[in-house]
Structure 1
Amino acid sequence: MLERYGHGGDLWTAEETFGRPRDQFLDFSSNMNPLGPPPVVNQLLRDAWQDIVKYPDPAVRELRYKLAQKYEVGVESILVGNGAAELIDLTARVLRPSVTGLARPSFSEYEEAIHKTGGRIYNIPLRPSHQFELQQQDVEAAISAVDLFFLGHPNNPTGRLLPRNIVDSLLESGRSCVLDEAFMDFVPNEQEHSLLKLASTSRKLIVIRSMTKFYSIPGIRLGFMVAHPDLIREIRNQQVQWSVNYLAQRIGAAVLEDEEFERASRQWLQDEKVWLTDQLQQLGLDVVPTEVNFVLFSFPAVLGLTVKQAQKHMGQMGILIRDASLFEGLNEQYGRVAIRLREDNERLIEGLRQTIEVLAQNRGLSHD
């Protein structure tokens, strides 16, 4: 199984599974911006490497100040972490909810973090009949059963934003709410959807952001959270010292200044998302509308194909896709692919076309 450790992008497991070098795979299983990293990252790695003999700033001051300026929130409301994963774990350990409401399907690390603290999960269904958009009645049913909501905004793996009426209901519910905005950078007019500013003064709302997806620096591990200053101090007290290394701090501060990279990234996604969605639909796949840089799809039941079969066949071709059936709430027909550059996306479409034809023929079916 490619997702042996619960994530996409595991090129080491792909190498072991399919017997080809890691650098020979075209990876659609992890959702990184194909335009990144920004050029300043290369420059920093060349020029700043000698400074690794110094300790990093324990308060991550430069990066926090720049984040505060960019998002117009108080610097005391920001905590930087070793990727969003660390902040998810820290939040669960500090809040220690008894019952947490999770949308299904959603990012597995929410549940893992809650289980570590001994908490229970309340499942909130995301239904294919509603194109996986969270519904008002399901949120209302959950409010009386949970003391914390932990939701993706946009959600992974569906790529759907929380509707505004749902956000309002959550904020009015009196329950604590953690929103994972790891992919919010990719959303057009993100300032209209993000809850960062509100989180900086609210005692019931926490927003977590990743910097690795949009800036394509997953190997650096960098994320931040915004919450009321009192809560930030409480969570910071549980954070391991020197959690954010020197290079991560420098790179994070530098990429925030590259406005041209941001504009180019959003323009690329606007164009390529439409093209790839159309191509997937032309293959006969059912595609979930997405706001971000990945697409959830399913093989029609009539084909009798599973994503595990497709993942194996495409992996042998050197193309990696995500087995989305591993997300609770999705069946064996669901897969997820990142949106990459056109040349790569063309290879993906051709690989899927061949895979569907071969697997269908093996079952004695035809694919028009």
Structure 2
Amino acid sequence: MDPDSVRETDRVPHGGTTDPTVRDCSANVNPETPEGVESVYRDALEAAGRYPDDAYPDFRAAAGEYVDCEADRVVPTAGGLAAIRLAIGVAVEPGDEVLVPAPSFGEYAREVRLQGGEPRFVPHDEVLSADPDDCALAIVCTPNNPTGETADPDALADFARRCEECATALLVDEAFLGFTSLPSAASLGIETVIVARSLTKLFGLPGLRAGFAVAQGPLGDALERARPAWSLGTPAARVGAHCLRDEGFVRETRTRVDRERKRLRDGLEATGFAVDPSEAPFVLVDCGDRDVDAVLTHAREAGIVLRDARTFRDLDSHVRIAVRDRETTDLVLEVLDGG
């Protein structure tokens, strides 16, 4: 990181609440976890009296199988954000410009600034047609957070090749891609592409802090050299590998999220809200003439926490609502219909 930039860069807001008495629809986390997680965690905790195997062979193998790439291209990280930080850290130097989608995950711009780089904001739905020349890095989020749309695989592949031609690294954040059946950009096999993956959202384990990056060639070597030693704790590595191999859980989650997202969107639109199309476990809702603070307060008083999406760049009348279970969907629709 650039020391001068660190002193000038603030933290960014996120969803999530520590209050166990409310339904948290502000963080996009699966309310379910794979069967057997507790048993795997207990066994791993017993082994936590020793340092982890820093090679992480089983975790790398499971992650490679999950995104269809060789295990030696996987770089274990303590969550998807750690993978993003690592990627930006090896690709960006002070003074570099970086293509950053907007509105999108606020940590991209923050991490770029921490490195002394300068974000060049591009509308989120125009990133794949932007010119990456003269940029050290371009960032794509698919599905994009908070809008929920996915990048067309062919357009993404074409953009990745254009980035390769002008020696621009491409970071593809696939934190929510597991909720879809779309292929990972890891399968492109392009040396300038870095994929960031999170186990937080799909497997319902935000406190575990497990994720990984995927890269190859010089960038892959740089990520592996730069990652901290023991970048995953033993419980995170073992539980993570267990989750990544549970194909049935992934299929069931996708089915449930697709169903509840449609119910949530249809119900909100019937109430007069405008809802962006989404393939993610959340929807972006335009409150229109409604007062956003009043919507948030009304929901909170009914025991539901929504995400104030005005904290995202270029949004001024929006909330983001996570897709959870049927009971929560019904409650959200009932509360917002009365608000």
| Same fold at TM > 0.5 | yes
Q: Distance in 1 between matches of 2:129 and 2:254?
A: 34
For residue 98 of structure 2, give the secondary structure of its aligned residue in structure 1.
strand
Instruction: Quote the offset at 1:270 in angstroms.
Output: 2.1
Tell me the equivalent position of 1:350. Answer: 334
Indicate which of 171, 177, 180 corresponds to 1:184.
177
- The 8 Å contact of residues 122 and 142 in structure 1, kept in 2 or not, is answered as no
In the alignment, which of 42, 45, 50 is matched to residue 54 of structure 1?
50
1:233 aligns with 2:221: yes
Secondary structure of residue in 1 paired with 2:101: strand
Percent identical across equivalent pairs?
A: 31
Change (3 A) 1:283 1:233: same
- Contact kept? 1:60, 1:249, Cα under 8 Å: yes
Contact 2:44 2:234 in 1 (8 A): no
2:59 and 2:237 in contact (8 A); partners too: yes
Q: Per the alignment, in what secondary structure is the counterpart of residue 320 of structure 1?
A: strand
Give the corresponding residue for 1:243: 231
Work out which of the residue numbers 118, 129, 140 in structure 2 matches 1:120: 118
**With structure 1 as the length reference, what TM-score do the two structures score?**
0.83
1:275 and 1:229, CA in 2 relative to 1: closer, same or farther beyond 3 A? Answer: same
Q: How does 1:354-365 map to 2 (within 5 A)?
A: 354-355=338-339
Query: Paired residue for 1:43?
Result: 39
Aligned-residue offset at 1:321: 0.2
The aligned counterpart of 1:362 is none
| Alignment partners' CA distance in 2, 1:8 and 1:278 | 23
Query: What is the match of residue 156 of structure 1?
Result: 145
Separation (CA, whole Å) in 2 of partners of 1:271 and 1:140? 32
Cα gap change, 1:141 to 1:195, in 2 (>3 Å): closer
Residue matched to 1:289:
277
Q: Which residue of 1 aligns with 2:29?
A: 32
- Give the equivalent residue in structure 2 for 1:307: 292
- The corresponding residue for 1:16 is none
Measure the CA separation in 2 of the matches of 1:205 and 1:306.
42
- Partner in structure 1 of residue 64 of structure 2: 68
Question: SS of the residue aligned with 2:144?
Answer: coil
Q: Which has the larger radius of gyration?
A: 1
Partner SS for 1:234: helix
CA distance in 1, matches of 2:192, 2:97: 16
Query: 1:10 aligned to 2:17?
Result: yes
The answer on whether the counterparts of 1:76 and 1:232 sit within 8 Å (CA) in structure 2 is no
- Is structure 2 residue 87 aligned with structure 1 residue 87? no
Which runs of no fewer than 5 residues in structure 1 stay unpaired? 12-21, 127-133, 356-368
| Aligned pairs, number | 323
Matched, 1:334 2:318: yes
Q: Deviations over 1:161-214 (max 9, x none)?
A: 113453144123233211100000001x222xx21111xx32211111111110
CA contact (8 A) 1:122 1:145 kept: no
Partner of 1:321: helix, strand, or coil? strand
Which residue is equivalent to 2:7? none
* Amino acid of the structure 1 residue aligned with 2:215: A
Q: Is the 8 A contact 1:124 1:142 kept in 2?
A: no
Offset from partner CA, 1:294-327 (integer Å, 9 cap, x none): 0001012xx3x23222212222222100001110
User: Is residue 124–residue 139 contact of structure 1 (8 Å, CA) maintained in 2?
Assistant: no
Does the residue aligned with 1:240 lie in a helix, a strand or coil?
coil
Given candidates 245, 253, 258, the residue that maps to 1:257 is: 245
TM-score by length of 2: 0.90
Structure 1 range deviating more: 166-175 or 100-109? 166-175
Q: Shift in Å at residue 339 of structure 1?
A: 0.5
Distance 2:136 2:314 in 1: 22
Q: CA RMSD in A?
A: 1.8
**Contact 1:94 1:234 (8 Å CA) reproduced:** yes
Question: Can you give the 5+ residue segments of structure 2 that lack an aligned partner in the other structure?
Answer: 1-10
Amino acid corresponding to residue 51 of structure 1 in structure 2: A
Contact 2:25 2:306 in 1 (8 A): yes
Deviations 1:29-64 (A, max 9, x none): 001112x21121122234433222121111211110
